[in-house]
Amino acid sequence: MKLHEYQAKQVFADAGIPTPDSQLASDVDGVVAAAEAIGYPVAIKAQVQVGGRGKAGGIELVDNEDEAREAADSILGMDLKGYHVDRVLVEEAVDFVNELYVSVTMDRGAGKPVAMVSTKGGINIEEVAEETPEAIAREHIDPAFGMHPYQARKAVYDAGVDSDLARDVSSILTTLYQLWDDRDGSDAEINPLMVTSDGEVIAADAVMNIDEDALFRQPELAEMEEEAASGDALEQKADEYDFDYVRLEGNVGIIGNGAGLVMTTLDLVDHYGGEPANFLDVGGGAKAERIANALDMVFSDENVDSVVFNIFGGITRGDEVAKGINEALEQFDEIPKPVVVRLAGTNWEEGMEILNEDLVTVEQTLEAAVQRAVEYADEVEA
């Protein structure tokens, strides 16, 4: 479960992490009232779970009522990378001189949680990891003992944080790990952790993702679940269809059966120069109706330019999948996005014969299917 920024900041603030004064608003008058209560200047921030909000026009800094009304009118109701904005966070503007990055996540390769600190905050941390990996300090934590104080200090020191800030940043990192552990987190991140002109540090953004399987022991967070899902019709539709679904920011839609198979497909899309639009696992034993629902979901994503189906028949039979694909596509007068299909396993040959090749492109191997889907997406972008 992904918390919205305002929800994550509430959790962080309750734990003692400094956050800016803020209020949630859902209409223009509410934005103005919140801004006047907080005091100008303020930031007006779209509450959708997607990166790059600022570059996409989802964050505006305003100095007076007229600017607040104009920004609120522009942001509320906008479509931000496929997400409908129905709420904004009105937040005290931070007079900052530097931006840091701190986070806690699970390093599955090491089999341990890892705390990360960088002085390159305020930008996409994946870009930092790729271009200057040495700029990110990492400290692995034994979950049996938790984060020792010296580990927090070491991560901050290794990242090159100024000594005047080291104590405060170490304290925030320790609290962040404790939250991650106590609240059954999968990710906890502050980017940026702003350094003010007064030498204080404050969480200007907040990310907190929770293990959904642990919500039964997190009643306070469970109450936030419905609000956390709002604003994204696709996430809500995935719940209705009972799909394992994660929306991403690319344009190649991916449908498969089994998490490992879907992850392999995502990796191949990236390998061949594409960008995955989603993770969608239809599960084992998928019948025609379930496959049709999966296509409906992916076609509903405006960011998707092509779709790749990767099905390995075990419990799921290739002929059932083929029927579902045909039934779904025959509902359209015109196929909205090109679909590439790769079938293998149980009854795959029967499935290949059933598939209507006037509606889909059929490939014999996963590599060929992914390459074709990436090519189709590139043609649309061009």
Annotated binding site for substrate: 257, 314-316
Q: What is the C-alpha separation between 151 and 137, in angstroms, rounded?
A: 11
Q: What is the C-alpha separation between 365 and 354, in angstroms, rounded?
A: 18
- Write out the two tokens for 381: 């972008």
User: Catalytic residue among 60, 139, 189, 235, which?
Assistant: 189
Which residues fall in the annotated binding site for ATP?
45, 52-54, 91, 94, 99
306-313 and 278-281 as β-strands: parallel, antiparallel, unpaired?
unpaired
**DSSP label at residue 345:** E
- Write out the two tokens for 25: 């608003």
Q: Name 344's Cβ contacts closer than 8 Å, sequence gap at least 6.
A: 311, 312, 313, 318, 366
Is residue 212 among the annotated active site residues? no
Q: What is the C-alpha separation between 228 and 302, in angstroms, rounded?
A: 21
Which residues fall in the annotated binding site for Mg(2+)?
191, 205
Q: What is the C-alpha separation between 269 and 12, in angstroms, rounded?
A: 36
Which residues fall in the annotated binding site?
45, 52-54, 91, 94, 99, 191, 205, 257, 314-316
User: Catalytic residue among 6, 101, 245, 376, which?
Assistant: 101
Is residue 101 among the annotated active site residues? yes
Q: What is the C-alpha separation between 119 and 160, in angstroms, rounded?
A: 7
Q: What is the C-alpha separation between 203 and 191, in angstroms, rounded?
A: 7
Q: Do 200 and 164 form a contact (C-beta atoms < 8 A)?
A: no
Of 255, 305, 299, which is closest to residue 275 (Cα–Cα)?
A: 305
Q: What is the C-alpha separation between 303 and 311, in angstroms, rounded?
A: 23
Q: Do 111 and 120 form a contact (C-beta atoms < 8 A)?
A: no
Q: What is the C-alpha separation between 214 and 192, in angstroms, rounded?
A: 28
Strands (E), the chain: 22-25, 42-46, 59-62, 79-80, 83-84, 88-92, 96-107, 112-118, 136-140, 185-196, 201-203, 207-210, 244-247, 252-256, 278-281, 306-313, 339-345, 361-362
Q: Do 294 and 262 form a contact (C-beta atoms < 8 A)?
A: no
Q: Which residues are catalytic?
A: 101, 189
